[in-house]
Amino acid sequence: MAGFAGRRVWIIGASAGMGEAVARALSAEGARLILSARDEAALRRLAADCGGAEVLPLDLARPETLADAVAYLRAGPPLDALICTAAVYDPAPVAEIDPQQAALMVQINILGTLEVARTCPPLLRDGGQFVLFGSVAGWTGLPGGQPYSATKAAVNNLAETLAAELHPRVDVRLVCPGFVRSRLTEKNTFRMPAIISAEEAATHVLRGLRGRRFLIHFPKRFTLAVALLRILPRGLALRLTRRMG
């Protein structure tokens, strides 16, 4: 998209972190926003700062709430973009995974995102952007990162499928951040290389959306190192990742 002024953009996952930072950056450029997540109070505070954006609370773990939002938006003008950042994060070594937490993570990160992908593209105008947030965590399996990293691998994979299936009517994009400061990464107790702020991440996202590349990844000093790990012979890559445990 060349510019965002006057564009109608729906952000799912807007109440915190990168979704909120992207909302603020788009609003500063004159976009008209629809803000979704579970925390309605946080969305209303953000909407007040974003020139009276619309607030549409929903929970990706409850598909009927997404269906209600889709039905409401279908009655309005088409969207120029839909950006879905929503996900939850509770990583652990596999033997220590809480099965209930794992099921919820699969429900929100995979099935919730899949439901967005299944039902929302018709809301976009021709040439509109459909933007999913995967992660470099999905590029290779690392110790202590499951099942979150598997859910992000699923989103990365889903975006690739959609880019083929929806071309040329919809411009599908995949955002794969490295480490970004948010309540999500607050849970990490290890040193996070090349971590950046959510505001810096939003700058990368908007620059990527103005450009033409399917994959938007940042900060490159970190994401390119993970990309290298992915293309190394598996035996060598596994010798390196064992040391990260």
DSSP letter, residue 95: G
Q: Does 222 bind ligand NAP (CB under 6 A)?
A: no
Place of tokens 């190192």: 225
Which residue lies nearer to ligand NAP by CB, 27 or 127? 27
Which residue lies nearer to ligand NAP by CB, 170 or 196? 196
Query: Within 13 A of 53's CA, how many CA atoms are on the CB side?
Result: 34
Query: Within 13 A of 149's CA, how many CA atoms are on the CB side?
Result: 17
Q: Work out which of 4, 10, 130, 179 binds ligand NAP, going by CB under 6 A.
A: 179
Q: Does 208 bind ligand NAP (CB under 6 A)?
A: no
Which residue lies nearer to ligand NAP by CB, 126 or 186? 186
Angle ∠(32,174,99) on CA atoms, nearest 5: 105
DSSP letter, residue 78: P
Which residue lies nearer to ligand NAP by CB, 6 or 49? 49
Strand arrangement of the beta sheet that strand 171-177 belongs to: 54-55, 32-36, 8-12, 79-84, 124-133, 171-177, 215-218
Q: CA-to-CA distance for 82 and 118, rounded, in angstroms?
A: 13
Question: What are the beta bridge partners of residue 175?
Answer: 133, 216
Q: Work out which of 9, 16, 124, 209 binds ligand NAP, going by CB under 6 A.
A: 16
Which range of residues in 54-62, 71-79, 120-128, 202-210 is near ligand NAP by CB under 6 A?
54-62
CB of 38 to ligand NAP, least distance (A): 3
**Helix, strand or coil, per DSSP, at residue 36:** strand
Q: Which of residues 84-113 bind ligand NAP (CB under 6 A)?
A: 85-88, 108, 112
Q: Does 133 bind ligand NAP (CB under 6 A)?
A: yes
Which range of residues in 45-53, 83-91, 118-126, 159-167 is near ligand NAP by CB under 6 A?
83-91
Is the CB of residue 177 less than 8 Å from the CB of residue 135?
yes
Provide the binding-site residues for ligand NAP, judged by CB under 6 A: 13-19, 37-39, 42, 58-61, 85-88, 108, 112, 133, 135, 137, 152, 177, 179-180, 182-185
